[in-house]
A and B are shown apart, each in its own frame.
Chain A
Amino acid sequence: NAGVTQTPKFQVLKTGQSMTLQCAQDMNHEYMSWYRQDPGMGLRLIHYSVGAGITDQGEIPNGYNVSRSTTEDFPLRLLSAAPSQTSVYFCASRVTSGYNEQFFGPGTRLTVL
């Protein structure tokens, strides 16, 4: 199993540009989520999905969109990038919501100029 994969690893955008961060898992996990990691702030939940066709907002959803058309994929879209979205983004998955291990991808480092 490849586990949780994310592409790209690094990305530089200009303010106002749009892009999609890709996330895929091959473990047949129902639950997937997106976090961003900023110094001194830990990991903050952006959006999550409890299964294909179902998404919900996390702690900081503004400026980000998600969709979940398949169990495997959970892309994160930035419609109009802002410098405040400069961060490291992690995708994660687990079997279901509840008490089970969450597996993280390797992260995408995004810089918005």
Chain B
Amino acid sequence: GENVEQHPSTLSVQEGDSAVIKCTYSDSASNYFPWYKQELGKGPQLIIDIRSNVGEKKDQRIAVTLNKTAKHFSLHITETQPEDSAVYFCATQYQKVTFGIGTKLQVIP
């Protein structure tokens, strides 16, 4: 089955700096790559996704890049703010969703 590796597991940045989270996957047939944000005590929520026919997608301060040849994808958050502090999960999805282990991001004011 699919295997998704995510790193780093924890990340601390100063407010205003950028944060990058990286994931690799094993199944070359995977075509859809969502990213979820989980705030303390809540369920995960989709923040951005990318399909395999696209190399990069942006939504305001967040962006995702995909390299299908290397089987890796990354989340980039620019101009980080304290409210970006959360756990972020990458995933691959078709019928089933396979998640990475999560990255705990702390933005220090």
Contacts and interface: CB of A to CB of B under 8 A. Distances in A.
B96 A90 contact: no
Contacts of B98: 45
B89 A42 contact: yes
A105 B97 contact: no
Nearest to A33: B97
B78 to A, nearest CB: 23
B32 A99 contact: yes
Q: How large is the interface on A (under 10, 10 to 19, 20 to 34, 35 or more residues)?
A: 20 to 34
Q: How large is the interface on B (under 10, 10 to 19, 20 to 34, 35 or more residues)?
A: 20 to 34
A106 B42 contact: yes
Contact of B93 (A40, A42, A99): A99
Interface string A1-19: 0001000000000000000
A101 B89 contact: no
B47 to A, nearest CB: 10
B96 A42 contact: no
Given A90-B43, A101-B46, A104-B44, A42 B99 contact: yes
12 contacts: A42-B6, A43-B97, A43-B99, A44-B99, A45-B97, A92-B43, A97-B94, A98-B94, A102-B97, A104-B43, A104-B44, A107-B43
Interface of B: 1, 6, 9, 31-32, 34, 41-46, 49, 51, 89, 93-102
Interface of A: 4, 33, 35, 40-45, 48, 50, 58-59, 90, 92, 97-99, 101-102, 104-107
